[in-house]
Amino acid sequence: MGKNMAEDKNKTEIQNKLLETIPSNPHGLLLISPRFGKTSLTIKIIKRDNPKKILWVTPNTKLRDEDIPNEFKLWNAEEFLEKTDIICYSSMAKLEGEYDLVVLDEYQNVTSDNCRPFFNGKIKYKNILGLSGTHPKHEEKRLIFEKLNLIVKAKYGINEAVDDSVIAPYQITCIGVPLNMIDKNVKAGNDKVTFYQTEENAYNYHCRAIEEKKMSMGQAPMYMYLNRMKFIHNVKSKIDAAKRYIDGLQGRKLVFSSSIENSEKISKNTYNSKTNDENLNKFINGELDILSCVNAGGTGFTFKKVDHIVIVQVDSNQKGNTVQKIARGLVYQGKDYTSQIHIFYCKDTVDKYWVEKSLEEFDKSKIKWLEL
């Protein structure tokens, strides 16, 4: 038996054992490690329970149009594909219908808006099955799960998957970059008066404004937090340090930045919502050794033989996105392979807290912290 067949057999055996613990016609959440095969596991549940009408909600059009239909065909479940409406979360708010089973793929994408049809009765359902590798802790999402009576029914975590050789072992290196205290390169002021200040002074200004508002009003308005987040996402020192660091890495590199503009500063080989698939396909085929992305490429793609995953900026409140980006490098490639993950943050800022929250699902002994 070849190596890949042995790996697939191992994953299938673990899936089948997990399937035995999931009750018939389940209503709840499956917290499943990325790269474990949650789609194939769900199709096995569907084949077992035989629902007459299914709604499958997914984050993006590639999953909707290609990956999920192909999985149904791969697992000889075409008869159920014919009974399944596959849509994106962005379309769910306008939907009406009756379903035996609703599958919420990457359920961290639920919001009060896109779940409204569940609450106003436009989408009628018997059971909801949520799938994700990361359980969100945001209060809005917690209330949604509570209203829909959704609790975790089965769990198979990232570290279990590593121990079972389902996904690759990993080493995460978090690199702290100090804010510039000398160069005045941050534009500030207003329409009438404009001036420049250092990165450190700019960050302190945002924090001070938030704290002063909290002291006077009990809480700071959301726009203040968003302004600080936008500043952190665009700190020149961090982006420049990441570019130098990435240029020094040997091998194939998949890089995630917070914006198209910042991703273009890392490499001309970009893939995002404004590009076509040329660079993506060249990277997949091995013609490019670096691909610089924003969120495109974070879900729905399998990249083999990637030596380094680099995250220049984590999301402040979407740790599931960070897990999905890391997962692009967790394809099991044999016992001698360890996935190398590199994450940048601004030293002595809330950025480090965001990184810590993003990595809660990972083994702390496999995370090291460096400061430049």
pLDDT of residue 243: 97
pLDDT value of position 7: 55
| Residue that is last in its domain, among 233, 255, 272 | 233
Q: Are residues 109 and 216 in the same domain?
A: no
Beta bridge partners of 83: none
In whole angstroms, how far apart are CA 143 and each of 91, 112, 179, 206, 308? 21, 9, 37, 30, 37
Number of domains within the chain: 3
Could you tell me if 192 and 288 lie in one domain? no
Do 294 and 311 reside in the same domain of the chain?
yes
Instruction: Read off the tokens for 54.
Output: 């299914």
Cα–Cα distance between 139 and 280 in angstroms, integer?
A: 36
Residue 263 belongs to what domain range?
170-179+237-371
Check residue 172 and give its pLDDT.
97
Looking at residue 156, its pLDDT comes to 93
* 331 and 284 housed in the same domain: yes
> What CATH number is attached to the domain comprising 146?
3.40.50.300
Same domain, 360 and 241: yes
Which residue pairs from 77-85 have beta carbons closer than 8 angstroms and sit at least 24 positions apart in sequence?
A: 77/43, 77/46, 77/47, 80/43, 80/46, 80/47, 80/51, 80/54, 83/51, 83/52, 83/53, 83/54, 84/54, 84/55, 84/56, 85/54, 85/55, 85/56
- Given this model, what pLDDT does residue 121 score? 94
Dist. CA 23–CA 57, nearest whole Å: 21
**Helical pair 350-358 and 222-233, crossing angle rounded to 10 deg:** 90
Shared domain for 192 and 296, answered yes or no, is: no
Same domain, residue pair 193 and 278: no
pLDDT recorded at residue 2: 42
Q: Are residues 115 and 241 in the same domain?
A: no
The answer to whether residue 12 is domain-embedded is: yes
20 and 125 housed in the same domain: yes
Instruction: Pick out the chain residues at pLDDT < 50.
Output: 1-3, 5-6
In a domain, 162, yes or no: no
Do 134 and 260 sit in the same domain of this protein? no
Question: What pLDDT is stored for residue 8 in this prediction?
Answer: 63
Based on the domain organization, do 143 and 277 belong to the same domain? no
Instruction: For residue 50, tell me if it sits in a domain.
Output: yes
Backbone angles phi, psi at 152, to 5 degrees: -70, 120
pLDDT at position 299: 57
Do 314 and 357 fall into the same domain? Answer: yes
Cα separation, 204 vs 220, whole angstroms: 15
Instruction: Render pLDDT for 103-161 as a digit per residue (tens, 0 to 9).
Output: 999 998 999 999 999 999 999 999 999 999 888 878 899 999 999 999 999 999 899 99
For 123, the enclosing helix (H) or strand (E) is strand 123-132
pLDDT of res. 308: 95
Distances (CA, A) of 254 to 2, 221, 355, 365: 28, 36, 18, 24
Global pTM? 0.84
**E strand or H helix that includes residue 30:** strand 28-32
Are 110 and 144 in contact by the 8 Å Cβ rule? The answer is: yes
DSSP per position, 150-179: --EEEEE-HHHHHHTTSB--EEEEEEEEPP
